[in-house]
Amino acid sequence: MKKTGRIIQKVIIYSLIVLMTAVLILATIELGYYIFKYVLESDYAVINLNQLMELFGIFMLVLIGIELLDTIKVYLKENVMHVEVVVLVAIIAVARKIVVLKIEDIDGLKIIGVAFIIVALAVAYYLIKKSGLIACSFDDNEKEKIAEQEK
């Protein structure tokens, strides 16, 4: 039964890798399309600020996808989740949200909430780096291997 569970888990992970790769290819093509479109529509090949912010948002979305794909690949190979990478993906996602956010359209309470998220992620990343925690495993055998590696 345990072997069947592992096979199903691997099939799901491979499926996620294929699907994430397809999404990243499409997102990269879309980014290229928008760059080409905005340059053609603009005067003197200068993109206006709103379009530039939209392009940065798409670019950061592709970066988030690449980091997630890397995390999935590492999980497939080592059967461990790298905590540092997960926190970095969250930081990039929040940064993306901040880049595409129109600050004048948001009330103060939401801005404070975003600030708390940034501080929490920064503290989490600092503590992960300081403690030397590299990976988190969901398998008992892998937990023992990680504990040995950290010693």
Range of 49's domain?
Answer: 2-150
pLDDT at 140: 56
* Neighbour tally for 87: CB within 10 Å: 19
Label residue 57 by pLDDT band (50, 70, 90).
confident
Average pLDDT over residues 22-43: 90
Distance separating alpha carbons of residues 31 and 25, to the nearest angstrom? 10
pLDDT at 25: 95
* Nearest residue to 54 via CA among 40, 33, 69: 33
pTM, two decimals, is: 0.70
* Nearest residue to 88 via CA among 51, 134, 30: 134
How many folded domains does the chain comprise?
A: 1
28 compared with 92, residue with greater pLDDT: 28
pLDDT at 121: 94
Given a contact cutoff of 8 angstroms between Cβ atoms, the answer to whether 105 and 50 are in contact is: no
Give 97-109 pLDDT, tens digit per residue.
887 887 788 888 9
State which H helix or E strand residue 79 sits in: none
Residue 134 β-bridge partners: none
Listing DSSP states for 99-120 in one string gives HH--GGGS-HHHHHHHHHHHHH
pLDDT at 44: 76
Give 92-151 pLDDT, tens digit per residue.
888 888 878 877 888 889 889 989 999 999 999 999 888 876 666 666 555 555 555 555
Beta strands in the chain (DSSP E): 80-82, 135-137
- Given a cut of 60, is residue 10 above it in pLDDT? yes
